[in-house]
Structure formats: structure tokens, C-alpha cells
Structure 1
């Protein structure tokens, strides 16, 4: 095993992509043990010649907290959440090939960023699988995963009704395993605008919870099973004295899973979305940059190019929104967006 030191290393500088409309960067994450530095390299294949890779869906978290990694032999300061994701996702032997936006896109190059955002649909669709990485692993993850496995087994048996489900789980309502599941479904990942297209377009999804790899289907049954969906919603509702990340009083994941499953079903059946429909369905999702409420849906809305709404982070926020509404009015002749204005706020 080769050990690396970050002392006196020069900082990594991005090389411009020859054509950011057809080429991407892939991160080659080298093997290492938990106590070893993270060492990577970047390669720039075209979309037509991609190796097998995995795409990571996660939340950026605190953008001011950085940790050093090594890229192409040089130091690169990356986000705290990215750093810990790479620590968990690297293999003890062999190379993991990943696409992760904070590193694979030069975030300071707005022109590159504009073109790469338009490729994200292809990037997530072509990945061998999308890994949903939920930051901040906790001691109760084992309990949450155990309960998910139990619910999936009961679902597959097909033997329960509302009455039997309540008989099994109602007495355990505030048990550690149900609290652990509520905490999992209350993670900020479930509320972010970008994560929507990342999993809706994926061929294969797994959720990484510490050392656990959970198939998406174990979570999806909360939406596809009407019995489980209704009872889970009731059982996870916030009680007096409890706090949740979501302001709905119910973990955001309870709603997000249903939304994601519905969108995946629609797209699999060849029913395209319009931007105006997507804006209505995703109005309550969150983004650090308000413009991402539009740009973060670009991979799901085929008409975004027809509307000439290309991602442009030099456009002031107010103008980005007014231009979007104006173009939707001209194209579709609908005032439906005005019914969403101020939803969730004092109108």
C-alpha cells in the first residue's frame, strides 16, 4: 500500500473540457483504508464512450466546510459531505468510478456548468446505478434498516391488512426502530430539488446508509402499497415536543417517495413532463440557489430547450423567474403558475 502526504503539494487546477456539451469528467477513486488519505484521478470521456460508472446523489451540506483530498497528485479541497461520501464509497481493493457533481463539474466555470447541467439527465440515466448517499451516519441506522427489511418482507408476503399492520406496529409506535426510520425519512436529501431528477431518471437505485446498501424497492413500497403508505404517514406524524427537518409535521420522505415513484412510473410509460407541470409538483422542494427551482428540473422537462430556458447563473434571480413565467404564458397560454405563487407563505 502506498501512503500519500498532502504536505507541500500544489493545488489541483481544472483543465477546460474540450467540448462541455459532449464530454464529462469521471472520478476514479483509488482503493484505501479508512485511515488513509483519499486519492483520485479525473478522466474526460465523451458520452459515447463511457466506462461503467456509478452516479452519486447526495446533499452538499455546509458549503463552507472543506476537507483535502488528492486529485491527479495535487491537493483539492472538497465539501465535507463529499469527503465523507468518498471515504465510504471507496473500495478496499480496486478502483471505484464515480460521477459526483461537486468534483466532476468545475463549479467556478459558469459556462461549463451551464452545458454540464443539460447533460445530467444522460449522466444519471447511463450510470450502472445511482447511489443515494445520506450523510451523517448514526448509530440507529441498523434499526432503520432492520425495520425496512421487515416491512419489505411483510409486503412481499401480501398477508397483511390495515388491521394486521396496526396490530403488529401500532404497539411499537415510539419504539427505537420506528424513531430511527422517521429520522431517516426526515433527512434533508428528501426535500432537495436536484435529487428529484437524479433518482427519477435512474435505471437502478440503492440507498447507502453507513455500511448498509438498501435497494430502493425497500423504500418504494411505502408509496406503492396503499396500506403501508397511509399507516406510515399516520405513525410518523410529529408529536408534541418533537422536532423535524420538514415543516409539514411529517418527514419529507413520506411525500417524496410517492412523488418519485409516480414520476418514475410516468416516465417509464413514455409520458413526458412539461416544465409547467413539474414546477407545480415540485413547488415545495428546496435549493440553495433559487434559480435551481428551474434549472434543477432541466433533465425532466424536454420542453426546457424549446422554451429557451438554458441554465444561466449570471441571470439575476428575479429575471430568471419572470422570464420563465413569461415564456410559459406565451407557449402554453396557462395561468396555473400564479396559483402556486406564495404557496406555503403568507400570500
Structure 2
């Protein structure tokens, strides 16, 4: 779901350093560091899956016993494609996936439970997964509460990668933890998704499986965005330009960087760090071009960082231009989403409160109607900005006219 990516990249007071950390630690299985308060990133593409089951099956108990590895053989487990029943949740509650430990070749197993969610509690005992759903036709399964539950191939790969061999892991995953067939629940859960990511102990940004070029791309990004001294031998002095280009494109052309409200929970970093990054880019830019790497498109990554810094500055009460719907719409112009409504609903967490109130999460509305409503709000924002510009121009013309008419009609402020 594009929203998971959106909110994953959401700033919510999370450090940009962690974002970068996230990027270049993909291939190194950095998720093991998620015990600390950092944003972790893994490799992975995502996919959307439309569930081919209904949220009905009253014969199932509302509370199922947790699966204990080894207590039942696979032959005793119900692997039939029967419907999976999700007990509706109400109020400030969320579902959490307890991903059971297991060996790489074992089926994914887990237990879905609900808990009271209080955003004011701060960091809570779960991690949040940010990823791209992927194509709905590529379907795999997880054994959830001892029943088969369909998930996308990309989510399956992410969970396999995150599963520990020794201990269980508690994760919030939008596709599993939100009943996608229940529009009322979906509206409510999506509206608090930003808070869910913000309060997680850590956010795992899964970019996709690594390839032969991933390691080089990660190394280059770690140099560009890390704290390494610029006098250290840069990647383009180590690798041939074609190999380095392949590595960078391997990371930056992944679907994760194209999906809507991209997500990540980058933690807001200090101004000094960002200044160092800008200086570093300015210094290495000529060498970068000389190495034949000018064709690498950094737009997806830079736009995400730009959005993150904009939100961070606002939350830190730093001076910056007031964000409007027009700004947000422009920033999202290249994004994609499985459900096109997610593109707009994801903007809520990035927008100031007065704008957030205008974006109502409602999956009952058809796509065309959602976009028509948004267009009207953007048009109002545009007209409002143009009126301000017109007023400023009028004031400027009045003052200029007074100046031209002579000292007698000037307002000197005495």
C-alpha cells in the first residue's frame, strides 16, 4: 500500500541521518539494529493485493490461540483457501502481527492480536514496516492464527527477511493489520497511520531483494550522505563509472521511490548535518560529473529528503514558507499508488492542521470524486496565493506612485 511508504518516509521528528543510514544499510541486514531508536531500512519492492475473501465467518472464534512452533504438523493445519475472519476493531485500537521465529525454509507463521493505541505514549513495543505492496496476482501465504492468510509476494519476501531464527518479532504491517475489506475500519486506521509510524519503536523501510549491483549502490550512497571525510577516496575512484551507475540506479529506480506518499520515518536531523551535506555535494559535484555519473537520476531521493526537511523545519518551529495544498500536490506529481485515493489520503500527515481537516479519508467515495474534491481545494489554495500576490503588487504600485509624485505625498513614517 502506497500509504505505508508515505508514512514510512514521513518526518515526524525522525532523524534524516537514520534515513540515510537506512538506505546504505539495506544489504547489510541492519534491521538487527532496530532495538535502538533508529529507522532501519531493508531491501524490497512492494505489491498490492486485493483480498479475495470477505470479513465474514461467524463460526470462527473471536480469539484464536497463538501458534506454538511444533505443536501441530503442517498436515493438521487448515491450508484450504477458506475465508479469514478479522474481528472488527473499534476506538483507539490497532492490530499487531507477532511474527514467529523460524528457519528460512519454513512457512511464515504468526499471531494477530489487538492492543489499545495511545499516540501520547511515545515509543511502543512494536516496529512498523514501510514497503511497496506489489502486484496483486503474485500471491503467497502466511499461517496467521493457524489459518492461511493471503499476502503479496513482496510482503512475503520482506517478512521472510525480517523473521528471526530465535525470537518472535512484533510488527505493524498495513496490509495484514488493517482489514482492507472493511471501509469504515480502513478510513479510521489510515487516518491515524502517521501516528502509528511515529510511535513505533523503529521503522523498517524494505526496498526489496538485493541484486549483484546493490552493494555498490549502497556504498556510494553511504559516501554521499554519510559523515565520511570528502578527502577519503570516493566510490568513483574505486569503481568504473558503468558499475557505479548500475549500483546507484539499482537503488534509486526501485518502486519504493516512486510510490506515492513515500514513506519513511526519517528522524529529523540537526541543521548542521544538513548544511554539511549541502557543502559536501557542492564540493564533489564537479568530480561526480567528470566521472561520467551525471546521468544518474537522484530526483526521487532528493524530493523525499526535501519533503522530510520541510516538515522537520515546521515541527521544530524553524522559519519556512507555509505549506499549502498546492505545494503538496506539486511534490507528489511523480508518485504512483495502487489505489489512487491513497495518493491524496497520504498527504494528511504531511500537511498543516488546517489543511489536514480538508482531506477526509473516505474509501466509500469513488476515485473520481476524491480527486474532484481535492482539485477544488487546490484551486482555492491557488486562488488564495494569487490574491496575496495581487495585494502585494497593488501595495508596491501605490508606494511607487507616491514616490513618483514627490516628497509631499510620501509616508515617511515620522
TM band (smaller chain): 0.7 to 0.9
Aligned residue among 185, 200, 207 for 2:252: 185
Q: Aligned residue for 1:342?
A: none
Whole-angstrom CA distance in 1 between matches of 2:284 and 2:89: 45
Whole-angstrom CA distance in 2 between matches of 1:222 and 1:229: 11
Aligned residue among 171, 176, 180 for 1:98: 171
User: Is 2:107 the counterpart of 1:53?
Assistant: no
Query: Which residues in structure 2 correspond to 1:137-176 (within 5 Å)?
Result: 137-151=210-224, 155-159=227-231, 169=236, 172-176=239-243
1:130–1:204 CA contact under 8 A, matched in 2? no
Aligned residue among 326, 337, 340 for 1:287: 337
1:112-146 Cα shifts (integer Å, max 9, x gaps): 11111110110111112111101232133233333
Aligned residue among 10, 16, 38 for 2:108: 38
Shift of 1:157: 2.0
1:230-277 Cα shifts (integer Å, max 9, x gaps): 469855444xxxxxxxxxx72553433442443353244236744332
2:78–2:148 CA contact under 8 A, matched in 1? no
Normalised by the size of structure 1, how large is the TM-score? 0.74
Q: Aligned residue for 1:262?
A: 309
Q: Which has the higher contact order (CA 8 A, sep 6+)?
A: 2
Whole-angstrom CA distance in 2 between matches of 1:158 and 1:268: 31
RMSD (Å) for aligned C-alpha atoms: 3.4
Query: Which residues in structure 2 correspond to 1:233-248 (within 5 Å)?
Result: 234=289, 235-238=292-295
Normalised by the size of structure 2, how large is the TM-score? 0.63
DSSP 3-state at the match of 2:143: strand
Shift of 1:204: 8.5
1:233–1:254 CA contact under 8 A, matched in 2? no
1:307-343 Cα shifts (integer Å, max 9, x gaps): 2x3122232222222222324445774377xxxxxxx
Shift of 1:4: 4.8
Query: Which residues in structure 2 correspond to 1:1-347 (within 5 Å)?
Result: 2=70, 4-5=73-74, 8-9=78-79, 11-19=83-91, 22-48=92-118, 51-151=124-224, 155-159=227-231, 169=236, 172-195=239-262, 198-199=263-264, 201-203=265-267, 225-227=280-282, 230=285, 234=289, 235-238=292-295, 250=297, 252-270=299-317, 273-301=323-351, 302-307=353-358, 309-330=359-380, 333-334=383-384
DSSP 3-state at the match of 1:128: strand
DSSP 3-state at the match of 1:291: helix
2:141–2:150 CA contact under 8 A, matched in 1? yes
Instruction: Could you tell me which runs of 5 or more consecutive residues in structure 2 were left unpaired when the two chains were aligned.
Output: 1-68, 387-414
Residues 118, 304 of structure 1: alpha-carbon distance in 2 compared, 3 angstrom cutoff: farther
DSSP 3-state at the match of 1:114: helix
Whole-angstrom CA distance in 1 between matches of 2:385 and 2:368: 18
Residues 113, 222 of structure 1: alpha-carbon distance in 2 compared, 3 angstrom cutoff: farther
Residues 325, 170 of structure 1: alpha-carbon distance in 2 compared, 3 angstrom cutoff: same
Whole-angstrom CA distance in 1 between matches of 2:297 and 2:365: 35
Whole-angstrom CA distance in 2 between matches of 1:112 and 1:132: 25
How many residues in Structure 1 have an aligned counterpart in Structure 2? 302
2:268–2:309 CA contact under 8 A, matched in 1? no
Deviates more, 1:258-267 or 1:74-83: 258-267
Whole-angstrom CA distance in 1 between matches of 2:106 and 2:274: 33
Instruction: Could you tell me which runs of 5 or more consecutive residues in structure 1 were left unpaired when the two chains were aligned.
Output: 206-217, 239-248, 337-347
Whole-angstrom CA distance in 2 between matches of 1:225 and 1:265: 21
1:55–1:130 CA contact under 8 A, matched in 2? yes
1:31-82 Cα shifts (integer Å, max 9, x gaps): 0110001001111112227841111111111111110111111110111111
